[in-house]
Amino acid sequence: MSAPARLRIVGGAVHDPANGIDGEVRDICIESGRIVSALPDGAPTLDARGMVVMPGGVDIHSHLASSSCNHARRLAPEERAADPVPAPALLDRTAPARSGTGGTVPSTFTTGYRYAGLGYTTAFDAAVAPLMARHSHAELDDTPCVDGGIFLLMGNDEYLLRQIEAGEHARARDYAAWLLGAAGGYAIKIVNPGGVEAWKTGQRNVTGLDDAIGGRKVTPRAVLEVLADAGNALRLPHPVHIHCNNLGLPGNAATTLASMEALQGRRAHFTHLQFHCYGGEPGKGWSSASAKVIEYVYTHPEVSTDVGQVMFGPAMTITADAPVEYLLYQSSGRRWTNIDIELETGCGIVPLAFKEKAAVAALQWAIGLELFLLSEDPWRVVLSTDHPNGGSFLSYPALIQLLMDRSVRDERLKQVNPRLLAGSALADGLSREYTLNEIAIVTRAGPARLLGLRDKGHLGPGADADITIYNRDPDIATMFSTPRYVIKDGTVIVEEGQLRRAPAGRRLRVAPGYDDAIVPDLRRYFEAYSSVSFGNYPVAGLPGEPVAP
């Protein structure tokens, strides 16, 4: 029997906010892929003196492994031609080293390598149609270095809408539970509740929480309530993950606040909040409404959010919010795709670039930063760019620099179009600078806690040994874009800034219980309406065990 793999990380300044450790110099001990409190003398060491030690990064909301990502890859061949990625020189011959392509939506292996190269070791694809879950799992199988999971789209699902309309909330919950288990999902996702179904039935969209959805006696409010209750009753590790109605429209902050109020008292996560914090009126102009929304978030501990920051540069908008993508296509004139995923949801994709000189993009950029800088509880306002919607995950270091370094931020602010920034908090001057500990919260400890990942996002005994070690650098962006070491499950995968090993990641999924009485009903439903037979629908052979509630 071989000795358990051990490693002692010596002398680094540890930032482990979940355990109240803020830059203290201490050793971190690893045995068999987990953090332990002590190791016998003579265990191998890794010298981290003068360096910063943090848990591995956790991306709570990304689009990295899905059929829609594949559509996006096909939609932008020029991005891939411009960014060929050679296979990394791995030391470990057991894992294949694959070449690939980059751009805003990298190929699968490259996605894993690049996340690892950034010090991220866990990432969730936040929008997967259950019907397409098989595809996502196949992509995650080929996305090394990160533990991954998927959120399942349910806010426009035919069977669910029918149950809500009939007042069968218990059956709606059972269906959600069955779907999560069958498709190997981790959380319930709602995208534009009812709006996608309305779009598919010939309405343009829904406009607010109390519109009828496609001629039904169901409202977006009912969808939010039933699914939020289902997520909480099933004791899912992550509550319902909500992309509100009216994304990207001026004045949508009112809808966002109404959605939060509708769920008052229920645990819920509101995602890419930046896209939902606009004041003004359609056709009459835009303004920032971040202060009002972030105030609500702060005073309501049941609400959590990620920001969905916009970063200047190329982006790829990928969403199940198909009607929004139609608007984006109309306003941008760019190529686009729009897909009807039969009974479940829709999908739209438009490549985009956020430009400093564009007034709306500048406002979006400012609103995202305001959410960060006005947030009084970083545990509930965590970092995302809604990769690749607001920008690639590769721009996280630049975002961290904007948060930590006011002089860089102010310099950048001078370069952007100020037309819509009058009266915005950022333009008035926000002096706050994030500390390293706050960065550790918004990029690791916070997302892990919101996701209910007990063994991630911290470095206490028993945690997964996912660790990132950075060289200190006066240039924050450089520091965070080139970690010196990255450790995944106790294996050093990045050494001296080079990717050396690329082990497969684990799958994070749940399989909540449900009343079996629903099964014959679902069998019938699939036979009558679906293009997939009931027996073929569940994804077979999922790796690993589901996460316990």
Partner 1 sequence: MSEGVVARLRQRLRHQADLGEVLAGGWTGLGPSELAVRPVYLEGSGTVPLGELFDLRGEPAGRIRFEGDLARADRLAAGLAEGEVIVEGSVGAQAGLGMAGGTLRIQGSAGPLAGAAGPAARRGMTGGELIIRGSAGAETGARMRRGLLAIGGQAEAYAGHAMIAGTILIFGDAGPDVGLWSKRGSVVALGAIEIPATYRYACTYRPAHLGLTLTRLRARYGLPVKKRHFAGRYHRYSGDLADLGKGEILEWTAE
Binding residues for partner 1 (CB under 8 A): 162-163, 166-168, 171, 202, 520-521, 524-525, 527-531, 533
Instruction: Give the residue with the Cβ less far from partner 1, 197 or 386.
Output: 197
Q: Minimal distance in Å, beta carbon 202 to partner 1?
A: 6
C-alpha distances (whole Å) from 500 to each of 34, 57, 115, 164, 223 are: 20, 18, 14, 51, 46
- The helix (H) or strand (E) run that includes residue 210 is none
> CA 534 to CA 526: how far, in whole Å?
6
- The helix (H) or strand (E) run that includes residue 474 is none
Query: What are the b/e assignments for 501-533, b being 16+ CB within 10 Å?
Result: bbbbbbbbbbbbebeeebeeebeebbeeebeee
* Cβ neighbours, 10 Å, residue 332: 14
Q: Minimal distance in Å, beta carbon 409 to partner 1?
A: 47
The one-letter amino acid code at 12 reads G
> CA 441 to CA 243: how far, in whole Å?
22
Residue pair 48/9 in contact by the 8 Å Cβ criterion: yes
Instruction: Give the residue with the Cβ less far from partner 1, 26 or 216.
Output: 216
Instruction: Give the residue with the Cβ less far from partner 1, 151 or 175.
Output: 175
Instruction: Give the residue with the Cβ less far from partner 1, 331 or 533.
Output: 533
Q: Minimal distance in Å, beta carbon 223 to partner 1?
A: 18
The one-letter amino acid code at 84 reads P
Q: Minimal distance in Å, beta carbon 180 to partner 1?
A: 20
> CA 172 to CA 230: how far, in whole Å?
8
Instruction: Give the residue with the Cβ less far from partner 1, 177 or 463.
Output: 177
Residue pair 124/310 in contact by the 8 Å Cβ criterion: no
Cis peptide before 314 (omega within 30 of 0): no
Q: Where does residue 482 fall: left (phi above 0), alpha (psi -120 to 50 degrees), or beta otherwise?
A: beta
Instruction: Give the residue with the Cβ less far from partner 1, 87 or 327.
Output: 327
Residue pair 8/39 in contact by the 8 Å Cβ criterion: yes
Q: H/E/C letters for each residue in 175-191?
A: HHHHHHHHHCCCEEEEE
For 233, the 3-state DSSP assignment is helix
Instruction: Give the residue with the Cβ less far from partner 1, 166 or 422.
Output: 166
* Cβ neighbours, 10 Å, residue 10: 15
Within 320-464, strands assigned E span 337-341, 345-354, 381-382
Residues in the chain: 549
> CA 151 to CA 430: how far, in whole Å?
35
Instruction: Give the residue with the Cβ less far from partner 1, 343 or 347.
Output: 343
Q: Minimal distance in Å, beta carbon 516 to partner 1?
A: 13
Q: Minimal distance in Å, beta carbon 160 to partner 1?
A: 12
Instruction: Give the residue with the Cβ less far from partner 1, 475 or 527.
Output: 527
Q: Minimal distance in Å, beta carbon 154 to partner 1?
A: 18
Q: Minimal distance in Å, beta carbon 192 to partner 1?
A: 20
> CA 30 to CA 405: how far, in whole Å?
33
Q: Minimal distance in Å, beta carbon 455 to partner 1?
A: 39
For 460, the 3-state DSSP assignment is coil
Instruction: Give the residue with the Cβ less far from partner 1, 298 or 525.
Output: 525
Q: Minimal distance in Å, beta carbon 543 to partner 1?
A: 30
Instruction: Give the residue with the Cβ less far from partner 1, 171 or 272.
Output: 171
* Cβ neighbours, 10 Å, residue 256: 26
Query: What are the b/e assignments for 55-67, b being 16+ CB within 10 Å?
Result: bbbbbbbbbbbbb
Place of tokens 């080139």: 482
Instruction: Give the residue with the Cβ less far from partner 1, 22 or 521.
Output: 521
Within 322-424, strands assigned E span 337-341, 345-354, 381-382
Helix-strand-coil split of the chain, %, nearest 5: 35, 25, 40
- The helix (H) or strand (E) run that includes residue 256 is helix 253-262
Residue pair 309/333 in contact by the 8 Å Cβ criterion: no
Q: Minimal distance in Å, beta carbon 515 to partner 1?
A: 11
Instruction: Give the residue with the Cβ less far from partner 1, 229 or 521.
Output: 521
